[in-house]
Amino acid sequence: MTAPADVTAAFQAKFPQATSRPSGDHPAFNLPVAEVHAALKYLRDEAAHDFLVDVTAIDNGVDASPRFTVIWHVYSTTRHGYVRLAADCASDENPVAPTVSDLWPTANWHERETYDLLGVKFENHPDLRRILMWEGYPYHPLRKDFPLAGIQTPLPDIEVAELTKASVKPAPMAGGPFVASSGEMNLTDAEPRAKDESWTERHEKPAPTSE
Amino acid sequence: MVSANNELAYNTKIEGDIVVTRADAVINWLRSSSVWPMPMGLACCAIELMGVAAARFDIARFGAEVFRFSPRQADCMIVAGTVTYKMAPHVRRIYDQMAEPKWVIAMGACASSGGMYRSYATLQGVDQIVPVDVYISGCPPRPEALLDALMKLQSKIKKEPSSSALLTSA
């Protein structure tokens, strides 16, 4: 279910800078990053959208500007509707967004994940550390310029790295990422496999002939 | 009247309390018959590992039912699941805490080779950080496959030069 029309109308009256965002499902708004905290506080306290569902971000591409868009989803447990807010980060190199962990404690880990994987810094976050990758990992893996296979870096533990001579290496892609075919009735065909099995690390992918 | 010798078994009254055999055979028999596993359950393979320990498949038939969650008391680390790079050093440290002799079973595609996780986060095979004795294919393997791996490990243990290793180690 979507938010009642009066919620979206009241929201736009309260925040005139918010513009409607193209959306396939729920009401969505673009608004300046500086207004996000006040807008989410308004939605929580005055529009009964009391549940923060998700905080995430989008990397619009290496050359795009604005490159990073932070997304908030809120839900009303009493009126049963979702609202989505999106705000472009001002800087493409060091994207910054306000924390909402003071409004919803659950935002703490969501923001840590967004920081870890996309490198968006959340201002005034009480403890903005990486949450999935280890402390000291030099990259933000969900950025568009980060290859899926990874980049060679040392193991998180120096002692074990010296002992085993192992390091974080790019994974062998061997025909592209392994993906399962969902909806495949034959379970053998549904097994995760490379989409393009015509090339491996030993037999390079043929260069595209046209273009 | 001469009675037939029907002493088919070893008789201590006749031969004394002595068994003659090789030290390796005894040591390896003891070791292979009571492999205490260290369940390194990291993903869905651990569910199959639990199935192996439960009544239907019953790993106790092979003397390996004593799952120890302390590496100090375990003989065989069963790496059951996806090993991430973040987890890899901890797997190695837990392996280092196990007392010799120790063995490793890489259970399933992820532990053996990274499996379907061809990504920046996943160690492409646990053999990069610990020596693996037996690999099991499957995603996840059937419980019978783990029992088969355990039997393979037992036959491997039975071929080890245990007594000379004990005498030469400091």
Q: For residue A206, is it within any domain?
A: no
The structure tokens listed for A118 are: 């996309």
Q: Answer yes or no: is pLDDT of B46 > 90.
A: yes
Q: Which pLDDT score is estimated for B170? A: 59
Q: Which domain holds residue A119?
A: 5-146
ipTM of the complex: 0.79
Q: Looking at residue A208, what is its pLDDT? A: 65
Q: Is B139 on the interface with A (CB under 8 A)?
A: yes
Query: In chain B, which residue's Cα lies nearest the Cα of A166?
Result: B128
Task: Tell whether B124 is within 8 A of chain A (Cβ).
Answer: yes
Shared domain check, A157 and A112 = no
Residue B85 has pLDDT above 70, yes or no: yes
Residue A173 pLDDT: 76
- Between CA B123 and CA B139 the distance in angstroms is 16
Residues A138 and A171 in one domain: no
pLDDT in tens, A36-46: 999 999 999 98
Q: What per-residue confidence (pLDDT) applies to A6?
A: 78
* Helical segments of A15-136, H only: 36-45, 107-118
Q: What's the pLDDT band for A149 if we cut at 50, 70, 90?
A: confident
Averaged over B79-99, what is the pLDDT? 94
The answer on A88 and A36 residing in a single domain is yes
In a domain, A130, yes or no: yes
Contact call for residues A115 and A59 (beta carbons, < 8 A): no
Q: Secondary structure of B47-98 in the HEC alphabet?
A: HHHHHHHCCCCCHHHHCCCCCCCCHHHCCEEEEECCCECCCHHHHHHHHHHC
CA distance A171 to chain B (A): 5
Q: How many A-B residue pairs are in contact by the CB < 8 A criterion?
A: 70
Which of A130, A155, A200 is the best mutation test for B, with the most CBs of B within 10 A? Answer: A155
Interface residue B85 vs chain A (CB under 8 A): yes
Check residue A210 and give its pLDDT: 57
Residues A172 and A85 in one domain: no
Q: Is residue A87 part of a domain?
A: yes
Residue A14, domain CATH: 3.30.460.80
Residue-level pLDDT at A4: 67
- For residues A100 and A190, membership in a common domain is answered with no
Strands A121-123 and A96-98: parallel
Q: Are A31 and A18 in contact (CB under 8 A)?
A: yes
| Topology, domain B36-158 | Rossmann fold (3.40.50)
**pLDDT, tens only, B97-137:** 999 899 999 999 999 998 888 889 999 999 999 999 999 99
Total domains present in chain A: 2
- Mean pLDDT, chain B, rounded, equals 90
Whether residue A186 is contained in a domain is answered as yes
Candidate from B85, B88, B116 with C-beta closest to A192: B116
Last residue of a domain, one of A104, A123, A146: A146
- Using a CB-CB cut-off of 8 Å, the residues of chain A touching B129 are 160, 164, 166
Q: Specify if A211 maps to a domain.
A: no
Whether the pLDDT of residue B9 is over 80: the answer is no
* A78-101 pLDDT, tens digit each: 988 899 999 999 988 899 999 999
Domain ranges of chain B: 36-158
Instruction: Report if residue A210 sits inside a domain.
Output: no
Q: Does one domain contain both A157 and A102?
A: no
A68 and A131 housed in the same domain: yes
What confidence score (pLDDT) does residue B52 get? 93
**The amino acid at B73:** Q
